[in-house]
């Protein structure tokens, strides 16, 4: 077995056994081959995947990303980023996609090798964490607002009590006779007395 045959065999084994989707595109972006993981992820059998443009399975937003990046791959520049694929059942699967140009020995662009990785669960976890963070931030702001309101109410109450005390003291001072002030429990609080003897 020569080196070329051995290399081709290894490539085929890696292609077919990969747990992540791998697609082979021609120079125009048409899917020419895909592995079993692609079928499982996309939800389509191989014969319904091959022969279609790669962006055929994308959401509108991801199609725009593909049309922007594919020309760069054609120029020999690998590209990667997040795309969303719509499965046969209508579910949306988030993928991290890397596109690598396939260049032959003579330097000619022959197509693109696509490597996909399902990041749906990771995104779901990130979204849940984001929601939890926003919820906690809202609760914190709500509690802060309540504390500020309570503090303002306490300040106003203390101010009113001080004013009331000053008013009561003024009344006591205005009474010419001796006057004792007792609390509800009978405790002596204050008295007022004006010395009329001079």
Give me the domains of the chain, ranges plus CATH numbers: 3-118 (3.30.450.20), 126-192 (no CATH)
Reported as a pLDDT band with limits 50, 70 and 90, residue 151 is: confident
Q: Answer yes or no: are the C-beta atoms of 97 and 63 closer than 8 Å.
A: no
Alpha helices, DSSP H only, in 53-181? 60-74, 120-174
Among all chains, which residue has been given the structure tokens 């405790």?
A: 187
Nearest to 57, CA basis, from 80, 30, 37, 81: 30
Reported as a pLDDT band with limits 50, 70 and 90, residue 186 is: low
pLDDT at 1: 46
Reported as a pLDDT band with limits 50, 70 and 90, residue 159 is: confident
**Interatomic CA distance for residues 146 and 82, integer angstroms:** 42
Mean pLDDT of 63-82: 93
More confident residue, 101 or 169: 101
């Amino acid at each position: 077995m020569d080196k070329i045959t051995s290399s081709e065999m290894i490539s085929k084994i890696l292609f077919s056994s990969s747990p992540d989707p791998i697609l082979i595109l021609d120079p125009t972006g048409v899917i020419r081959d895909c592995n079993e993981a692609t079928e499982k992820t996309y939800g389509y059998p191989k014969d319904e995947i091959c022969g279609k443009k790669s962006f055929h399975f994308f959401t509108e937003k991801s199609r725009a990303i593909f049309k922007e990046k594919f020309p760069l791959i054609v120029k020999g520049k690998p590209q990667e980023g997040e795309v969303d694929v719509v499965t046969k059942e209508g579910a949306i699967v988030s993928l991290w996609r890397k596109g690598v140009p396939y260049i032959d020995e003579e330097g000619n662009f022959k197509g693109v090798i696509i490597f996909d990785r399902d990041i749906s669960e990771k995104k779901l976890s990130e979204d849940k964490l984001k929601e939890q963070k926003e919820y906690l931030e809202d609760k914190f702001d709500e509690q802060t607002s309540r504390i500020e309101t309570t503090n303002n109410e306490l300040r106003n109450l203390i101010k009113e009590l001080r004013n009331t005390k000053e008013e009561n003291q003024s009344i006591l001072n205005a009474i010419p006779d001796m006057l004792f002030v007792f609390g509800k429990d009978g405790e002596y609080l204050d008295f007022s007395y004006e010395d009329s003897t001079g």
